[in-house]
């Protein structure tokens, strides 16, 4: 995980592939999943 302020990137350790990128919303108890990228099969 790479974290800068409220910006978070989750990267695969072995491949360096970006798995998820989001900006934390401090007004929420949870962070919803992105609808942009479909999950890997």
What does the pLDDT average to over 2-19?
Answer: 94
Tell me the pLDDT band of 17, cut-offs 50, 70 and 90: very high
Give pTM, 2 decimals.
0.64
Number of neighbouring beta carbons within 10 Å of residue 8:
15
Q: What are the Cα distances from residue 28, in Å, to 12, 16, 23, 24, 41?
A: 26, 29, 12, 8, 29
Contact 6, 24 (CB under 8 A): yes
Q: Which two tokens stand for residue 35?
A: 């609808």
* Sign of the alpha-carbon torsion through 34, 37, 40, 41: positive
């Amino acid at each position: 995980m790479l974290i800068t302020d409220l910006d978070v990137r989750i990267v695969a350790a072995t491949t360096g592939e970006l798995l998820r990128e989001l900006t934390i919303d401090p007004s929420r108890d949870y962070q919803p999943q992105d609808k942009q990228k479909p999950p890997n099969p």
